[in-house]
Structure 1
Amino acid sequence: MVGLYYYVKDDLPSVETLRDVRLQTPMQVYTADGRLISQFGEQRRIPLSLDEMPQQMLDAILATEDARFYSHRGIDPIGVMRAFRVLITTGEIREGASTITMQVAREFYLTRERAWMRKIKEAFLALHIEQMLTKDEILELYLNKIFLGHRAYGVGAAAQVYYGRDLHELTLAEIATIAGLPQGPSILNPISHPQASLQRRRIVLRRMLDENLITRAQFDAAFNAPVTARFHGTEIEVNAPYLAEMVRQEMIERFGVDDAYNSGYRVFTTVRADNQMAAQNALQENLHAYDERHGYRGPEQQLWGFDPERYFRGEGDANRPLPDEITLEVMLRHGGQAWDEVDILQYLNRQPRIGRLQHAVVTDVHEQSVDIIMRGGMRVTLDWDRLDWARPFIDQERQGRAPQRAADILNAGDHILVRPVSEGWKLAQIPGPSSAIVALDPQDGALQSIVGGYSFNLSQFNRATQAKRQVGSTIKPFIYAAAFENNFTLASLVNDAPITQWNPGSGIAWRPRNSPEVYDGPMRLREALARSKNVVSVRLIREVGVDETADYLTNFGFAPNEIPRNESLSLGSASFTPLEMARGFAVFANGGHLIDPYFIARIEDSEGNVVYEANPRFVCTECAEKAYREAHELGPEDYIERPFRQAPQVISAQAAYLVTEALQSAVWGGGSWANQTGWNGTGWRAQSLRNRNIAGKTGTTNDVRDAWFVGYSQGTVAATWVGFDNLEFALGRTSLNANLGRQRQPIVGSEAGGTTALPGWILYMEHKLSQVDSSPFELPSGMMSVRIDQASGKLTNRTDFTSMFEYFVRGTEPREFADSDRRQPQIFEDDDGLFR
């Protein structure tokens, strides 16, 4: 034996590392308030100390794997002799005589190759391990290291995978099932091989009874218990897959794949659970509202009530795929007749999960209702008010007649989708267009919510951070900010009149148009921005200069090479992501500072030590220091552990405030409705929030391929985008659904930023505004307000509906008084259209 030891000694690895072993544990991603978003890693492991494991689990493992564990020194002579006797009598290696210590040696340092030399090395390593570690330390390593099937490593993870409960919550039968797995986790696990697992469990129980570790009554109850195991995935508390994927990519970039996945990092994001769920709900509800007003595209599949042979001839509905082979087999077996419930439920169980949508099959159709059966066997009746929206979809521009009966919509045997609504379920479909919502804190850039699409299962493309889409009129606040930095004011008059520019090189005239094509002559810039007048924006970029304006836009964080250097920039020909737009608008919300968006607040290692903590740039460093002291309960004399960085001032606070003033008018309008001079801004639907301190801008691109709304208060800025992933598709228009009227379908006509994107923004802000600072925006120094004449923008002494107070950078206020007898003439054709 001594000679054999020195023969293999140089090949034996050092076991010193077992003193500081780091078990591979998955990376976990959490919300800011500590709720699990996702888990990444090849191995599921929940490390536990021996004190955290129930005594019955320890007894079951020891009785089955190594009954003399606490009496031998790493090698069990009795077990070796028994294995040797089996070898002599049978001529085969049927027992390995491995102790728990030897299994630890194999798991950490060797392979499972069935060879004499591996077994010899395993024995010598076990002797070394027993010299270095206590028995309890060895057993704890073993119970946390062993593979137990279905990616579960250790008994803690196995309890979650097979039973969805913590280890101390398991019954004796369940503990015995797990204790029986080390011998063959692939062939003995209760999910894949329930009968083999049952027999193995009974062997474990008999060993425990033989060792007097359980009573006969306990043995009998556990021996006859049914197999209840089923696969349990990670218990996700908050559905935020787009955010989780952003974290995964960031962690791999920081630590590499192996370290990121297996080192047990706990990543805490800046996103609160309630905000994320509110954003996801807002996006999904808004897309369903759009999709339902455009009509119903029909059921997913028709399971009976037709000639199934036509599917062999490829005559299925062109809008839906042919059924899979299993479904076809059932169709043929039923010969076009109704399926039995077993077949229906098996069919529904094969369908993929898509967000909150649920699969169902129509079993009966009544005059104005249908009966359905859902996954799991729940039976529901969809009443008429859950069906009547479903007039036929023709194309994005046209819808069919409103249905009068349930049979106009559905037939028995239709595979449909339903979605949860108040007090029940509603007929639904996967929305045609896509959408994104992103919200961040304008004071430091912390991400508050992010949803990159309707369902991560449908598409992993994150439209909030990856989709660069034309921004349309949401570019205008940046154009106006450049004008305000060049001595324009909210009261400056610019002619809202048609423009025709002949290009002799191309022989084509450029004619930018308002949408709708209404022109109102000379107009103050406050009203022009609020009502999104295209030709005014073109005149402004001409006055400031295209190159100068393009350079100015880089102050908002936009990449110079992505900013078109021509007059189309003023109408939104540039393409940016929703996150980039939110960051740009944050400059207006925070008084002119550029913040850097971030979404990881801190990273902890497997022992809870903070290995990274975000240190963003703050608009108000004094505010950040105060909040930090309060959070860490530090007094004024205590040392601040980190410096608070200042976000750079990129535009003047005065220009930011003037833009915000105009964008508040985009929501609340102006003039006097009582005196027939009132007007609405393009974001008037946001008035439903009943908050005077919000500002925002709609955006719609040519042919309505993209719809935007970006809005903010002092404490949040949120961008919403809606459009088809396929750029060939426009969002279209809708007509009134006679079944719904204007109360249930208030949006009729062409889709646009104010009708398509803004409702989703409103749904999100209904939740968010209650949490953040939505007090009035602070007036910067160096500004003043004076009473002006609304028509001319000049000073006035009148105090009636023709006048208003307006804000100016000191020194730019008007000096002349308006002529009370003569109004500004309407001018519809001129060279520059500027009136100051």
Structure 2
Amino acid sequence: MRSPQPSFSNPVPAPAGWRRWWRQLPLWLKAAVLPLLGGFCSMTLLLVALRLLPLPDESLLDPTEMDAADGTTLAVWTPKGIRAERVPLEVIPRWLQEATIAVEDAQFYHHHAFNPLAMLRALWVDVSRGRVVQGGSTITQQLAKNLYLSQDRTLWRKVKEALYAMQLELHESKRTILEQYLNTVYYGHGAYGVQAASLLYFNKPVQALSLPECALLAGLPKGPAFYSPLTHFAQAKARQRVVLQRMVAAGYLTQAEADAAYHAPLHLATVHPPVVQAPYFTTTVVREVEQRLHLSPDALYQGGIHITTTLDPLLQQAAERAVATTLPKDRPLQAALVALDPQTGAIRAMVGGRDFATSPYNRAFAERQPGSAFKALLYTSALEHGWTPARQVMSAKTTFLYDEDRLYTVHDFGEMYARRPITLREAIARSDNVYAVTANLETGVEQVIDTARRMGITSPLDPVPSLALGVCPASPVEMARAYAVLANGGKRITPYTVEEVRAPQYGVYQASPQAVPAISPQIAFQMTDLLTSVLDSGGTGASVRRYLHGLAAAKTGTTYTDNWMVGYTPSLVCAVWVGYDDDRPLTPQDAHLAAPIWAKFMGTAQQHLPYTWYRPPAGLVARTIDPVTAKLATDACRDTETDYFLVGTEPRATCPLHPAQRAPLAPGPWWRAWLGRWFGRA
């Protein structure tokens, strides 16, 4: 007999409707629904949080800063621009707004921060090309990056960009986002925002831009350096055509209007106001940083980099003042000045022209004929190959035979010859050309070129007799580098402008100056001693000695088109060039302007950078000679000079024209000869 079934007084209730529905779902469908529900909830919470949280502070973005050696700020680049001026959207031409939307984000008014189709299309192109070719960023994403983020390409940065873009769309209207974008986007050459770009490229306010000009500007953000009309006009025009066609596709223009805009002439601005201090120097710094860290031309302008330079602000002011107060205002003469530390090569001051705003070309790197300023290198080579300060050459018009059958006649400036044998010191002081060509041919032109190369001249040098007269062009930077070898005791240095660069995305760069032996300390001292005569009475630089406050070594140089003064103290080397950009001949007045620029600047430098004058190294002996006979002077010689000789090369015979009444003159303390020449008694 079957047992009776138990009875329950409170049976289990049936599941509720939604629970019953959930239990009836297949397992695979449950696995799909759960992530969707979780994602929906998470997205809802994220959107609420982004809407409640305030937008980040734009000032948190680190700018790119460039400092002088003493910490003084030279330039600051941020996404707000060097001279940014925000303008309301109502002022910005409709053409510029439509051109920007058409070429950057055609669905701007129809998406919420992202354009999925554009992102997928860009991803497909990038994958098919094997590299990043297109970006799928919307205007909102680009604005978020410009306002709040650095330019490094990392996954975390892209995530933050997406979040900030969503937050922007939740907080701001489309018009506000477009206005912010147009006021912050980078248009090249340090110009951020449409107002700065309009002034830079067309020298007019943004509201005055025409359709062709708006289309050109709208095409720049994709590649400001590549599409700049100032440097790549053909590429800029090609990009302008792309923008106009996109405007046609978006319905903003007819094809006829686009064609007319493309063929309309563009009147680019020719005057670009300087936007930083020491503009010739800072542009050199930018180029050096790009080369050292392998940066793109626009990377510096995107923020996050700190640059410490070699510039001395006081010396830079002195250099600019010397040029401005010396060059005449009634003719278009140009000048360049380079001053550097002879021990390291650190450039302390640089002027590349009289006005960066009207001519940004940096003449400090322009190769021009150095004229007699090259003779310091020539005589360095001669001393290396057996010449001594007592070597005499007849100063008179001379025709030289070289290469067995070729003739070369040498003239002195103004046909002003001594018409007697002169010593090396006098040849340097009066800049005698006959002496120079003689030394060039007897030393050997190839040997002279070798010495110049070791001293840092990299420009082409022709093995011809006229090499001695500086006919082969060299730049002021090169000449300063070569003279630094004499100033530092014989070591070749490399000029540079950047001491340190700190960039999170690129690492840290620090300069490591190196000095390579080029000539002996004895030869360097001999040449320095001889070059002081240029500033003595009778020297070609004597007229500017009044600007100086102590000893200095220097050499002048003049050709038909170029005027030079290059010289130094133990703490600073300075090269100055004066001439015309079109190589027109110098007037007699023009041909004497480099020396006062050099002396005015060096006078300030002598007070700013005190120094102790050189002492002769071991291996040299001082001898006082009669310059007429180049023999040891006696107490009966009226004119004397004290020179330094390598041991064993000094003269031993006494002056035959002035027999000694007592014993031959002893050289005496080394400083007595300096003081005698300095005050004109030698």
Question: TM tier, shorter chain?
Answer: 0.5 to 0.7
8 Å Cα contact 1:24/1:45 also seen in 2: no
Residue aligning to 1:581: 479
Partners of 2:544 and 2:108 lie apart in 1 by 76
For residue 471 of structure 1, the aligned residue among 361, 367, 370 is 370
Partners of 2:403 and 2:286 lie apart in 1 by 53
Residue aligning to 1:806: 643
Shift of 1:654: 1.1
For residue 74 of structure 2, the aligned residue among 19, 37, 41 is 37
List per-residue Cα deviations over 1:680-729 (Å, max 9, x = no partner). Answer: 1101123113434201000001xx200000011000000100111102x1
Residue aligning to 2:395: 496
**Cα distance 1:818–1:714, how it changes in 2: closer, same or farther (>3 A)?**
same
Matches within 5 A, 1:115-134: none
Secondary structure, counterpart of 2:518 in structure 1: coil
Partners of 1:478 and 1:519 lie apart in 2 by 22
Shift of 1:34: 2.5
**Cα distance 1:2–1:686, how it changes in 2: closer, same or farther (>3 A)?**
farther
For residue 148 of structure 1, the aligned residue among 180, 183, 200 is 180
Which one-letter code corresponds to 2:347 in the other structure? L
Residue aligning to 1:515: 413
Secondary structure, counterpart of 1:806 in structure 2: strand
Residue aligning to 2:571: 715
For residue 668 of structure 1, the aligned residue among 526, 529, 536 is 536
Which one-letter code corresponds to 1:656 in the other structure? A
The answer as to 2:330 corresponding to 1:447 is no
List per-residue Cα deviations over 1:441-482 (Å, max 9, x = no partner). Answer: 0011000001111112212211001x1001100011111111
Shift of 1:192: 6.8
Identity %: 31
**Cα distance 1:590–1:94, how it changes in 2: closer, same or farther (>3 A)?**
closer
8 Å Cα contact 2:410/2:434 also seen in 1: yes
**Cα distance 1:496–1:96, how it changes in 2: closer, same or farther (>3 A)?**
closer
- The alignment's TM-score, normalised by the length of structure 2, stands at 0.61
**Cα distance 1:809–1:161, how it changes in 2: closer, same or farther (>3 A)?**
same
Shift of 1:616: 0.8
Residue aligning to 1:731: 586
8 Å Cα contact 1:784/1:808 also seen in 2: yes
Residue aligning to 2:557: 699
* Structure 1 range deviating more: 497-506 or 467-476: 497-506
Secondary structure, counterpart of 1:437 in structure 2: strand
List per-residue Cα deviations over 1:738-774 (Å, max 9, x = no partner). Answer: xxxxxxxxxxxxx42xx22111112212321112243
8 Å Cα contact 1:790/1:803 also seen in 2: yes
* Larger helix percent: 2
8 Å Cα contact 1:783/1:810 also seen in 2: yes
Residue aligning to 1:53: none
List per-residue Cα deviations over 1:290-336 (Å, max 9, x = no partner). Answer: x4xxxxxxxxxxxxxxxxxxxxxxxxxxxxxxxxxxxxxxxxxxxxx
Secondary structure, counterpart of 2:633 in structure 1: coil
Residue aligning to 2:9: none
**Cα distance 1:439–1:821, how it changes in 2: closer, same or farther (>3 A)?**
closer
Shift of 1:40: 4.5
Secondary structure, counterpart of 1:501 in structure 2: strand
Residue aligning to 1:777: 614
Residue aligning to 1:533: 432
Which one-letter code corresponds to 1:439 in the other structure? A
8 Å Cα contact 1:583/1:597 also seen in 2: yes
Residue aligning to 1:569: 467
Shift of 1:237: 9.3
Partners of 1:282 and 1:574 lie apart in 2 by 27
How many residue pairs match? The answer is: 476
Secondary structure, counterpart of 2:358 in structure 1: coil
8 Å Cα contact 1:523/1:791 also seen in 2: yes
Which one-letter code corresponds to 1:251 in the other structure? V
Shift of 1:255: 2.4
Secondary structure, counterpart of 2:422 in structure 1: strand
Partners of 1:690 and 1:522 lie apart in 2 by 31
List per-residue Cα deviations over 1:414-462 (Å, max 9, x = no partner). Answer: xxxxxxxxxxxxxxx5x41211011000011000001111112212211
Residue aligning to 1:211: none
Partners of 2:182 and 2:391 lie apart in 1 by 70
Which one-letter code corresponds to 2:524 in the other structure? A
Partners of 1:760 and 1:2 lie apart in 2 by 82
For residue 318 of structure 2, the aligned residue among 251, 257, 278 is 278
For residue 616 of structure 1, the aligned residue among 513, 528, 534 is 513
For residue 256 of structure 1, the aligned residue among 289, 296, 304 is 296
**Cα distance 1:148–1:686, how it changes in 2: closer, same or farther (>3 A)?**
same
For residue 457 of structure 1, the aligned residue among 357, 361, 369 is 357
Partners of 1:606 and 1:146 lie apart in 2 by 30
Partners of 1:258 and 1:786 lie apart in 2 by 60
Secondary structure, counterpart of 2:387 in structure 1: coil
Which consecutive residues of structure 1, in runs of 5 or more, have no partner in the other structure?
A: 47-92, 100-107, 115-124, 155-159, 163-189, 194-234, 292-428, 618-646, 670-679, 735-750, 824-836
**Cα distance 1:731–1:2, how it changes in 2: closer, same or farther (>3 A)?**
farther
**Cα distance 1:2–1:22, how it changes in 2: closer, same or farther (>3 A)?**
farther
8 Å Cα contact 2:79/2:303 also seen in 1: no
**Cα distance 1:268–1:498, how it changes in 2: closer, same or farther (>3 A)?**
same
Partners of 2:522 and 2:534 lie apart in 1 by 19
The answer as to 2:97 corresponding to 1:242 is no
Partners of 2:642 and 2:383 lie apart in 1 by 18
List per-residue Cα deviations over 1:497-539 (Å, max 9, x = no partner). Answer: 2211368999x85211011312221111111111100000011
**Cα distance 1:274–1:147, how it changes in 2: closer, same or farther (>3 A)?**
farther
8 Å Cα contact 1:602/1:610 also seen in 2: no
Secondary structure, counterpart of 2:355 in structure 1: coil
Partners of 1:799 and 1:659 lie apart in 2 by 28
Which consecutive residues of structure 2, in runs of 5 or more, have no partner in the other structure?
A: 1-31, 48-54, 84-106, 114-134, 142-155, 187-191, 195-204, 209-272, 661-682
- The alignment's TM-score, normalised by the length of structure 1, stands at 0.50
8 Å Cα contact 2:371/2:558 also seen in 1: yes
Partners of 2:313 and 2:170 lie apart in 1 by 39
Secondary structure, counterpart of 1:709 in structure 2: strand
Secondary structure, counterpart of 1:562 in structure 2: coil
List per-residue Cα deviations over 1:269-288 (Å, max 9, x = no partner). Answer: 10022221221121122212
**Cα distance 1:790–1:485, how it changes in 2: closer, same or farther (>3 A)?**
same
Matches within 5 A, 1:181-330: 239-253=277-291, 254-257=294-297, 259-288=299-328, 291=329
**Cα distance 1:487–1:4, how it changes in 2: closer, same or farther (>3 A)?**
same
Which one-letter code corresponds to 1:240 in the other structure? A
**Cα distance 1:652–1:112, how it changes in 2: closer, same or farther (>3 A)?**
closer
Cα RMSD (Å) of the superposition? 4.8
Partners of 2:108 and 2:460 lie apart in 1 by 70
Residue aligning to 1:28: 65
Shift of 1:151: 3.6
List per-residue Cα deviations over 1:55-87 (Å, max 9, x = no partner). Answer: xxxxxxxxxxxxxxxxxxxxxxxxxxxxxxxxx
| Higher Cα Rg, which structure | 2
Partners of 1:32 and 1:147 lie apart in 2 by 39
Partners of 1:274 and 1:692 lie apart in 2 by 19
For residue 654 of structure 1, the aligned residue among 522, 537, 548 is 522
The answer as to 2:485 corresponding to 1:591 is no
Residue aligning to 1:55: none
8 Å Cα contact 1:447/1:597 also seen in 2: yes
**Cα distance 1:7–1:566, how it changes in 2: closer, same or farther (>3 A)?**
farther
Which one-letter code corresponds to 2:512 in the other structure? N
8 Å Cα contact 1:484/1:655 also seen in 2: yes
Secondary structure, counterpart of 2:304 in structure 1: coil
Partners of 1:94 and 1:480 lie apart in 2 by 71
Secondary structure, counterpart of 1:718 in structure 2: strand
Secondary structure, counterpart of 1:769 in structure 2: helix
8 Å Cα contact 2:380/2:527 also seen in 1: yes
8 Å Cα contact 2:547/2:599 also seen in 1: yes
List per-residue Cα deviations over 1:111-160 (Å, max 9, x = no partner). Answer: 3589xxxxxxxxxx9xx989x99x999999x9xx9973664489xxxxx9
Secondary structure, counterpart of 2:563 in structure 1: strand
